[in-house]
Protein backbone atom coordinates (compact mmCIF):
# COMPACT_ATOMS: atom_id res chain seq x y z
CA UNK A 1 0.00 0.00 0.00
CA UNK A 2 2.98 2.32 0.37
CA UNK A 3 4.91 1.68 -2.82
CA UNK A 4 4.01 4.40 -5.31
CA UNK A 5 2.02 6.31 -2.68
CA UNK A 6 4.85 7.45 -0.43
CA UNK A 7 3.46 11.00 -0.14
CA UNK A 8 0.24 9.62 1.34
CA UNK A 9 2.25 7.87 4.06
CA UNK A 10 4.93 10.46 4.81
CA UNK A 11 3.30 11.76 7.99
CA UNK A 12 1.40 8.61 8.95
CA UNK A 13 4.07 5.91 8.92
CA UNK A 14 6.12 7.43 11.78
CA UNK A 15 2.92 7.73 13.83
CA UNK A 16 2.07 4.06 13.26
CA UNK A 17 5.64 2.96 14.00
CA UNK A 18 5.62 4.90 17.28
CA UNK A 19 2.25 3.47 18.34
CA UNK A 20 3.45 -0.06 17.60
CA UNK A 21 6.57 0.45 19.73
CA UNK A 22 4.51 1.86 22.59
CA UNK A 23 1.94 -0.96 22.44
CA UNK A 24 4.62 -3.64 22.36
CA UNK A 25 6.45 -2.00 25.27
CA UNK A 26 3.23 -2.28 27.33
CA UNK A 27 2.67 -5.90 26.17
CA UNK A 28 -0.55 -4.91 24.42
CA UNK A 29 -1.54 -7.34 21.66
CA UNK A 30 -0.58 -5.99 18.25
CA UNK A 31 -2.66 -7.24 15.34
CA UNK A 32 -1.27 -6.65 11.86
CA UNK A 33 -4.13 -6.84 9.37
CA UNK A 34 -3.19 -7.21 5.74
CA UNK A 35 -5.44 -7.13 2.72
CA UNK A 36 -4.92 -10.06 0.37
CA UNK A 37 -6.34 -9.34 -3.05
CA UNK A 38 -7.81 -12.20 -4.97
CA UNK A 39 -6.40 -12.99 -8.38
CA UNK A 40 -3.04 -12.19 -9.94
CA UNK A 41 -4.14 -8.81 -11.32
CA UNK A 42 -5.31 -7.43 -7.96
CA UNK A 43 -2.85 -4.74 -6.74
CA UNK A 44 -2.84 -6.30 -3.26
CA UNK A 45 -2.26 -9.86 -4.40
CA UNK A 46 0.28 -11.53 -2.13
CA UNK A 47 2.71 -11.91 -5.04
CA UNK A 48 2.64 -8.17 -5.92
CA UNK A 49 5.85 -6.26 -5.22
CA UNK A 50 4.07 -3.74 -2.96
CA UNK A 51 2.24 -6.34 -0.86
CA UNK A 52 4.72 -6.99 1.99
CA UNK A 53 4.34 -4.93 5.15
CA UNK A 54 6.42 -1.75 5.22
CA UNK A 55 9.67 -1.99 7.16
CA UNK A 56 8.47 0.70 9.61
CA UNK A 57 5.82 -1.73 10.88
CA UNK A 58 8.71 -3.96 12.02
CA UNK A 59 6.69 -7.15 12.57
CA UNK A 60 7.68 -8.94 15.77
CA UNK A 61 7.32 -12.64 16.64
CA UNK A 62 4.56 -11.92 19.17
CA UNK A 63 2.43 -9.89 16.77
CA UNK A 64 -0.80 -11.44 15.60
CA UNK A 65 -1.46 -11.61 11.86
CA UNK A 66 -4.79 -11.42 10.09
CA UNK A 67 -5.25 -11.71 6.35
CA UNK A 68 -8.44 -10.32 4.89
CA UNK A 69 -10.15 -9.99 1.52
CA UNK A 70 -12.88 -7.53 2.57
CA UNK A 71 -12.68 -3.91 3.77
CA UNK A 72 -14.03 -5.20 7.08
CA UNK A 73 -11.15 -6.73 9.03
CA UNK A 74 -13.62 -8.91 10.94
CA UNK A 75 -15.41 -10.36 7.90
CA UNK A 76 -14.36 -13.96 7.23
CA UNK A 77 -11.25 -13.66 9.44
CA UNK A 78 -10.25 -14.88 12.88
CA UNK A 79 -9.80 -11.32 14.24
CA UNK A 80 -12.74 -11.50 16.64
CA UNK A 81 -11.56 -14.84 18.00
CA UNK A 82 -8.01 -13.55 18.48
CA UNK A 83 -9.32 -10.53 20.41
CA UNK A 84 -11.76 -12.60 22.46
CA UNK A 85 -9.02 -15.10 23.42
CA UNK A 86 -7.01 -12.19 24.84
CA UNK A 87 -10.00 -10.55 26.56
CA UNK A 88 -9.59 -7.42 24.43
CA UNK A 89 -12.43 -4.93 24.85
CA UNK A 90 -10.79 -1.83 23.30
CA UNK A 91 -9.18 -1.55 19.89
CA UNK A 92 -6.91 1.20 18.60
CA UNK A 93 -7.22 1.55 14.84
CA UNK A 94 -4.64 2.85 12.36
CA UNK A 95 -4.03 2.01 8.74
CA UNK A 96 -4.72 2.51 5.09
CA UNK A 97 -7.60 3.42 2.91
CA UNK A 98 -9.48 5.64 5.34
CA UNK A 99 -12.75 5.58 3.41
CA UNK A 100 -12.70 1.82 2.90
CA UNK A 101 -10.87 -0.42 5.39
CA UNK A 102 -10.44 2.03 8.26
CA UNK A 103 -14.06 3.22 8.14
CA UNK A 104 -15.56 -0.25 7.72
CA UNK A 105 -13.43 -1.88 10.41
CA UNK A 106 -14.14 0.96 12.85
CA UNK A 107 -17.88 0.66 12.36
CA UNK A 108 -17.79 -3.13 12.62
CA UNK A 109 -15.71 -3.04 15.81
CA UNK A 110 -18.29 -0.74 17.37
CA UNK A 111 -21.18 -2.93 16.26
CA UNK A 112 -19.45 -5.93 17.83
CA UNK A 113 -19.23 -4.09 21.15
CA UNK A 114 -15.59 -2.98 21.22
CA UNK A 115 -14.57 0.41 22.54
CA UNK A 116 -12.71 2.08 19.67
CA UNK A 117 -9.94 4.65 19.56
CA UNK A 118 -9.38 5.78 15.99
CA UNK A 119 -6.00 7.45 15.77
CA UNK A 120 -6.77 10.75 14.02
CA UNK A 121 -3.27 11.09 12.57
CA UNK A 122 -2.72 7.35 12.13
CA UNK A 123 -4.66 6.57 8.96
CA UNK A 124 -4.37 7.68 5.37
CA UNK A 125 -5.64 7.26 1.85
CA UNK A 126 -5.10 8.70 -1.61
CA UNK A 127 -6.90 11.66 -3.09
CA UNK A 128 -9.66 11.03 -5.54
CA UNK A 129 -11.32 13.11 -8.23
CA UNK A 130 -13.54 14.81 -5.63
CA UNK A 131 -11.56 15.16 -2.39
CA UNK A 132 -7.98 15.56 -1.27
CA UNK A 133 -6.38 13.04 1.10
CA UNK A 134 -6.60 15.57 3.94
CA UNK A 135 -10.31 16.15 3.28
CA UNK A 136 -11.07 12.43 3.26
CA UNK A 137 -9.20 11.86 6.53
CA UNK A 138 -10.77 14.90 8.20
CA UNK A 139 -14.25 13.90 7.06
CA UNK A 140 -13.91 10.38 8.43
CA UNK A 141 -12.40 11.58 11.70
CA UNK A 142 -15.38 13.91 12.17
CA UNK A 143 -17.99 11.38 11.02
CA UNK A 144 -16.68 8.40 12.96
CA UNK A 145 -16.02 10.55 16.00
CA UNK A 146 -19.65 11.57 16.12
CA UNK A 147 -21.06 8.03 16.06
CA UNK A 148 -23.16 7.43 19.14
CA UNK A 149 -23.37 3.78 20.13
CA UNK A 150 -24.93 2.63 23.39
CA UNK A 151 -22.62 0.68 25.65
CA UNK A 152 -19.33 1.36 23.86
CA UNK A 153 -16.99 4.31 23.51
CA UNK A 154 -15.94 5.79 20.18
CA UNK A 155 -13.08 8.27 20.32
CA UNK A 156 -10.98 9.92 17.64
CA UNK A 157 -7.71 10.92 19.28
CA UNK A 158 -4.32 12.22 18.19
CA UNK A 159 -1.58 9.62 18.56
CA UNK A 160 0.21 11.51 21.32
CA UNK A 161 -2.66 10.93 23.77
CA UNK A 162 -3.17 7.22 23.06
CA UNK A 163 -2.33 5.42 26.30
CA UNK A 164 -1.61 1.69 26.30
CA UNK A 165 -0.80 1.45 30.01
Q: What is the pLDDT along the chain (165 residues), one digit of tens a residue?
A: 545 555 666 899 999 999 999 999 999 999 999 988 887 877 776 766 666 677 888 899 999 999 999 999 999 999 999 999 999 999 999 999 999 999 999 999 999 999 999 999 999 998 999 999 999 999 999 999 999 889 999 999 999 999 998
- Please tell me the distance from the alpha carbon of residue 8 to that of residue 86, in angstroms, as a whole number: 33
- Please tell me the distance from the alpha carbon of residue 73 to that of residue 75, in angstroms, as a whole number: 6
Q: In the 8-state DSSP scheme, what is residue 54? A: P
pTM of the model: 0.92
- Residue 68, beta-bridge partner list: 35
Domain borders along the chain are 6-161
Residues 6+ apart with CB under 8 A from 111: 149
CATH 3.40.50.300 fits 6-161, yes or no: no
Amino acid sequence: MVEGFEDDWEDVMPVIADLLKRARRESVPVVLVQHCGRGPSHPLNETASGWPLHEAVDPQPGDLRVRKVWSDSFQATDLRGLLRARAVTRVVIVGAQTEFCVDTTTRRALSLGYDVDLVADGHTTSENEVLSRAQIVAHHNATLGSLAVDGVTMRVLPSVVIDFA
